[in-house]
Amino acid sequence: MATTNVLFRETPVTTGGTRHLSLREAGRRTSGANVGQAERVASAALGGTLLLLGLGRRSLGGAAVAALGGGLVYRAATGHCHLYEALGVDTAADRGAAAGASEDSPEAVVAITIGKPAEDLERLWRDPRTLTRITSGFAEVTPAGDGRMRWKVRGPLGRDFEWDTQVVEDRPGSGQRWQSVDGASLPSEGEIHFRPAPGDRGTEVTLRIRFNMPGGALGLAAAKLLGFVPKLFAERAIHYFRALAETGEIPTTERQPAARADTR
């Protein structure tokens, strides 16, 4: 049995079967805000632009663009997103510095404890098929030859980002680090670390991943508006890795991954 301690976890503390909300979260529930500040700023900027652009076009297409812009302006003004509400996503929470990067950061760090020996988990991670399987549903990752992996992710406004990564630091027995090669459309880097858990409880596994979205903070916020959230990407990947290590299978009954929200 694995013990899980996932940083950035959205689930509130539960004791004795009772779900406890902090005063801050209770306030958010009352106000209905579920959108982070950086996203609201990006929504206002992008929404205003689309609204003006759409109104300037006297056509059905222009009306659609204006409607989209108006929706983003409303999102910025109220701090509420109906899509996030349906998916159970809340980026308005203040998760604190202890968790690592903030919800508006392009970098995420997640950690779990799995009741398996480190050598077994490391062997599983080094199998090229593993990364393909644990990112299934929110990214396409395939072997590209010469030790490289090719990534494909749907980004803002339907744009596909495609790039290759390669291992730049290999630490047999403890983990490895990788980064995108020169010229990547979405520069990224990541690292996984294995170490024995205290009390012979298995292995502590820490995954760090970073996506340098074009456009900086505004580009990241726009990507989050359209469903790509780095920290949720990392959480789902390590969740799948744990499931694969424990059962040999990837969950297939869960809803649409929050890291790649369906915006249709």
Domains: count for the chain: 2
Q: Residue 69: phi, psi to the nearest 5?
A: -60, -40
Determine what percent of the chain is predicted with pLDDT higher than 70. 69
Tell me, yes or no, whether 82 and 140 share the same domain. no
* Residue with the two structure tokens 């990006």: 42
3 state DSSP class of 51: helix
- Decide if 4 is inside a domain: no
- Decide if 6 is inside a domain: no
Taking residues 199-221, what's their average pLDDT? 80
Task: Give the separation between CA 262 and CA 264, rounded to whole angstroms.
Answer: 6
Dig out the tokens for 217 from the structure. Answer: 């903070």
- Decide if 112 is inside a domain: yes
Tell me, yes or no, whether 107 and 34 share the same domain. no
Tell me, yes or no, whether 59 and 110 share the same domain. no
Tell me, yes or no, whether 82 and 108 share the same domain. no
Tell me, yes or no, whether 239 and 112 share the same domain. yes
What percent of the residues of the chain are helix, what percent strand, and what percent coil, each to the nearest 5? Answer: 40, 25, 35
Tell me, yes or no, whether 163 and 57 share the same domain. no
Tell me, yes or no, whether 211 and 144 share the same domain. yes
Tell me, yes or no, whether 153 and 232 share the same domain. yes
Tell me, yes or no, whether 143 and 46 share the same domain. no
CATH number at residue 119: 3.30.530.20
- Decide if 260 is inside a domain: no
pLDDT one-digit tens code per residue, 10-67: 333 343 443 333 434 434 444 578 877 667 767 776 777 777 777 878 888 888 888 8
Taking residues 6-11, what's their average pLDDT? 37
* Residue with the two structure tokens 């222009």: 62
Reported pTM: 0.57
Dig out the tokens for 155 from the structure. Answer: 């980004």
Tell me, yes or no, whether 110 and 227 share the same domain. yes
Cα torsion at 177, 234, 216, 87 (round to 10°)?
Answer: 170
- Decide if 180 is inside a domain: yes
Average per-residue pLDDT in the chain?
74
- Decide if 19 is inside a domain: no
Contact 244, 134 (CB under 8 A): yes
Tell me, yes or no, whether 70 and 132 share the same domain. no
- Decide if 171 is inside a domain: yes
Tell me, yes or no, whether 149 and 242 share the same domain. yes
Q: Which domain holds residue 53?
A: 25-87
Q: Dump the DSSP string for 6-23.
A: -TT--SPPEETTEE---H
Residue 117, Ramachandran bin (φ over 0: left; ψ between -120 and 50: alpha; else beta): beta
- Decide if 261 is inside a domain: no
Taking residues 139-154, what's their average pLDDT? 87
Dig out the tokens for 198 from the structure. Answer: 């205290």
Task: Give the separation between CA 20 and CA 13, rounded to whole angstroms.
Answer: 6
Contact 263, 156 (CB under 8 A): no
What pLDDT score was predicted for residue 245?
Answer: 95
Task: Give the separation between CA 102 and CA 107, rounded to whole angstroms.
Answer: 8
Strands 18-19 and 175-180: unpaired
